[in-house]
Amino acid sequence: ANCICCGSPYNLGTTPTPFSRENFVPLNQHSNDELLALRQQVQSRYNSLKSEGLQLDLTRGKPSSAQLDLSNGLDGILQANYMAGAVDTRNYGSPLGIAEARALGAELLGVPADQVLAGGNASLTLMFFAVMLQNNIGCRGSDSAWNRRAAAKVICPVPGYDRHFTICETLGVDMVTVPMTDSGPDMDAVESLVKTDPDVVGLWCVPKYSNPTGCTYSDETVDRIAALGKTADPSFRVFWDNAYAEHHIATPGETLASIYDACLRHGTEDSVWQFASTSKMTFAGAGISWAASSPGNLATFKKFVNAAIIGFDHVNQLRHVKMFPNLETLREHMEKHRQLIAPKFEAVLRQLDEDLDADYGEWTRPAGGYFISFDAQPGLAQRIVDLASEVGVKLTPAGATFPYGKDPQNQNIRLAPSLPPLEEVQKAAQVFTLCVQLATLEQKLAS
Amino acid sequence: ANCICCGSPYNLGTTPTPFSRENFVPLNQHSNDELLALRQQVQSRYNSLKSEGLQLDLTRGKPSSAQLDLSNGLDGILQANYMAGAVDTRNYGSPLGIAEARALGAELLGVPADQVLAGGNASLTLMFFAVMLQNNIGCRGSDSAWNRRAAAKVICPVPGYDRHFTICETLGVDMVTVPMTDSGPDMDAVESLVKTDPDVVGLWCVPKYSNPTGCTYSDETVDRIAALGKTADPSFRVFWDNAYAEHHIATPGETLASIYDACLRHGTEDSVWQFASTSKMTFAGAGISWAASSPGNLATFKKFVNAAIIGFDHVNQLRHVKMFPNLETLREHMEKHRQLIAPKFEAVLRQLDEDLDADYGEWTRPAGGYFISFDAQPGLAQRIVDLASEVGVKLTPAGATFPYGKDPQNQNIRLAPSLPPLEEVQKAAQVFTLCVQLATLEQKLAS
């Protein structure tokens, strides 16, 4: 691979997969005039995109139609038999869900079934209620409610999942950030916060194929998180959103240590709430969800949730356990998802590898989940999103991966390649790298 | 009908349907000794019940299996076509619901479709969120949040629906009661509260076939409720839980004036939230729900609810609009429910009429809904529930129809005849009247 400007061989450095790089624009070892010429080239290619009238969307971690088709058998799967054992799923029932659905969630999360609640189509709602219980109601009587404090704070590893932040913001819970590393949250920073600030009462986690960086927490990280409850305030809770437990891209996928086992070792079962759902297994908007914690927590949660719902949709729970009678069948189903989604991630990563290097930014190579996290040069995220938008490629808003939508470095962009067809993903990735090149050249020339 | 004690003709008074009355036990015009003998007879019949090992349940307003069977076609109704127009219901989507489901709710509630949110399987959740929005978040900025006040109060007509009270209790909203009359809440009392207490910020209503009295609010009551917003605090809200809009027992059923039209007349559209669901049309635990209010309220609500859910289950919404493409088909379906449920209400009312009169209590004769409200002699509700429980007949806990579960007169009992088969309803009603007789005789003899 040679410089398109001066023809000299270009050092690809640590980029793992060198491809053709026909559109690679080297940044280093060039005079200002040469950079101006490079920008001219890039700008010219960018301008030509405007006439293409693109309408591409990499904003949302949505399954594609082909993925959704995998579960089309759900409607009608009951064949007019709505009984779950002796339970008529059509009628009102327990807020803990039907036994079969709780058992499936227990297998997925690696916990006893009697510590699992099976919920409706949104684990987000269960998280909202769990945070609300902690903040507004109190996990052990009203004195334990976070909102009795002047400034209860929840730790948010960043970049992270915007909807976790929105729950805190909506309920008036403050957030404090720690950096996300390749092995999970910066645990030195987490432990220091928990140790020094008694108002730190929570921690958000997407422990496997994290949103958006894709990392899976290391065994050591899981253990240290489970240990937090030993010294933290009794109302401290980890919100363990295991949204991508079986959502592999690589084969084999990564494995996550059991937070439940770690809590048992440390005697901190009360300190962790686990969540999962089938949103990206069956239907994104019509799946089922789970929450799991200690028996005491679950009893308190059940009473609270029962004020807001008589029972979740047990018919849909029954549909799901008919489709997935056990974890093994669920895993076979997820392999079909993997085959549909992996080529899209490969396409984006190939494009990034071909067109960019560390002078432009850094990006993750997830073995699972729904996102690639891209860190541009500081200050450029918004510009890149705007440039892409102008030529018809929607990206997740800059800042979305940070609390209050404010990325202090203005550099993180979350790429979500799952929804569009492969050819659109390829095109959108080409546009993206071009926008990164243009924004970076602009910045370099302005400095 | 003659007195079983002295043989003299008994004056049936205003009891509307005199039947055989073979077990009727007259209370008046008897000496203490005669009453003792009567109690002996009743006690003896009660004791013989104990050996029958009954397991009957009149506690919950649940549809019966036969009613649920009416909607068995729901699962599979989509025939693998999950599209609602251009919307793929399987994927994530808007928190306002699919257009077709919003349109059905609009027809049911008599409001414009763009003022309707179509939700999940629980209108209770929508009510919880609406009260939470008012109380914790604020309907127009945080200054308007009820919890900024020392003592925000919501008016609860009593007897009423326990789950409305639980929402208030859970969210820390105080409750103040007004009597329920045959034409709805005592509006003089309601208006007086709104006028004299600026901390009165809400009113719960089940306007049609009210839970538990079965009354339908009169046109005048509806108009006066809509007018409350003219003078009440701007954060005042009526929670109009139209749970039984099409749930007739009598033919023809009763009609409810449009609160929406009344609000338009008074310019108080912001003051009312309407709710409805298909819980007692299709599947109690797996239906769909609606909330409706002014465009401003709905926009605020949408933003808030979106913090707790990405979208409701649109697949199930689509199933429901396939089953009910319009209000007319829904009404035809509800007529089938009526035919199943009416005989059970008739059976209970016949038993009450045969065995009791005004000396024992008063009861309602609903033209729709799910309940009969029975007022025993003051002080006897708990005793009657206990007596029934001892012989295997579960009744709704005494006090459940009042805030905090406290019936100041300890006299109201809610009877729910929908769930058990007809023969069980008949038997349970016989047990009930016997327990009322026994408790009343006990009281009379002790006084």
User: Is B124 in contact with A310 (Cβ distance < 8 A)?
Assistant: yes
Minimal CA–CA distance to B43: which of B442, B363, B446, B447?
B442
Q: How far is CA A320 from the centre of its chain?
A: 23
Token pair 């729900």 is found at B289
Q: Which class for A51: exposed (0-12), middle (13-18), buried (19 or more C-beta within 10 A)?
A: exposed
Give per-residue pLDDT as tens, A96-135.
999 999 999 999 999 999 999 999 999 999 999 999 999 9
pLDDT, greater one: A34 or B258:
B258
Going by pLDDT thresholds of 50, 70 and 90, the confidence category of residue A28 is confident
d(CA A7, CA A25): 11
pTM of the model: 0.95
User: E strands of B193-341, at which residues?
Assistant: 200-205, 237-241, 272-277, 289-292
A313-363 pLDDT tens trace: 999 999 999 999 999 999 999 999 999 999 999 999 999 999 999 999 999
Cβ-Cβ contacts under 8 Å, B72 against chain A? 80, 82
Predicted local confidence at residue B4, as pLDDT = 56
| Token representation of residue A88 | 């008529």
Chain B, 418-437: which have a CB under 8 Å from a chain A CB?
Answer: none
Residue numbers in A near B171 (CB within 8 A): 136
Residue pair B90/B240 in contact (Cβ under 8 Å)? The answer is: no
B92 in contact with A, Cβ within 8 Å = yes
State yes or no: pLDDT of A2 exceeds 60: no
Residue from A64, A69, A82 whose CB has the most chain B CBs within 10 Å, to mutate? A82
- CA A393, CA A66: separation in Å to the nearest integer? 22
**Could you tell me the sign of the dihedral formed by the alpha carbons of A120, B284, B398, B383, in that order?**
negative
Query: Percentage of chain A surpassing pLDDT 90?
Result: 90
The ipTM, to two decimals, is 0.94
| In contact, B382 and B401? CB cutoff 8 Å | no
B66 in reach of chain A (CB within 8 A): no
Q: Which residues pair with B153 in a beta bridge?
A: B174, B200
Question: Does A79 sit within 8 Å of B170, measured CB to CB?
Answer: no
The pLDDT assigned to A12 comes to: 41
DSSP, collapsed to helix, strand or coil, labels residue B185 as strand
Q: Which chain B residue has its CA at the smallest distance from A419's CA?
A: B91
Question: DSSP secondary-structure letter at A424?
Answer: H
**E strands of A325-424, at which residues?**
361-363, 372-376, 393-394, 412-415
**Helix/strand number for chain A, H first, E second:** 13, 15
Res B83: pLDDT = 97
Predicted local distance difference test score (pLDDT) of residue B8: 57
Q: What is the pLDDT of residue B21?
A: 75
pLDDT on residue B15:
41
For residue A102, count CB atoms less than 10 angstroms from its CB and return exposed for 0-12, middle for 13-18, buried for 19 or more.
Answer: buried
- Say which residue the tokens 């850094």 belong to: A362
Residue A372 has pLDDT above 70, yes or no: yes
Cβ pair A285:B316 closer than 8 A: no
CA distance B82 to B318: 8
Confidence tier at A14 by pLDDT (50, 70, 90):
very low
- The packing angle between helices A422-446 and A32-50, to 10°, is 140
Query: Chain B within 8 Å of A164 (Cβ-Cβ)?
Result: no
Work out the average pLDDT over A154-178: 98
Q: What is the pLDDT of residue B12?
A: 41
Q: What pLDDT score does B22 carry?
A: 77
pLDDT at A212 over 70: yes
Distance (Å) from the alpha carbon of A91 to chain B's nearest alpha carbon: 5
Above 80 in pLDDT, residue A10? no
> 10-residue block means of pLDDT along chain B (447 residues)?
55 44 81 92 94 92 97 96 97 93 98 98 98 96 93 97 97 98 98 97 98 98 98 97 98 97 98 98 98 98 96 98 98 98 97 94 97 98 98 96 97 97 96 97 93
Give the model's confidence band at A29: pLDDT under 50 very low, under 70 low, under 90 confident, else very high.
confident
Helices B162-171 and B123-132: crossing angle in degrees, nearest 10, is 40
What pLDDT score was predicted for residue A94?
Answer: 81
H or E segment at A57?
A: strand A56-57
Average pLDDT value over all residues in chain A: 94
Partner residue facing A286 (CB), from B73, B137, B314: B314
Q: Are the CB atoms for A438 and A42 separated by under 8 Å?
A: yes
Amino acid at B193: L
CB of A125 within 8 Å of any CB in chain B? yes
Is some CB atom of chain A closer than 8 A to the CB atom of B196? no
* Distance set, CA A24 to CA A2, A3, A355, A427, B160 (Å): 9, 8, 4, 16, 71
Size of interface A-B (CB pairs under 8 A): 171
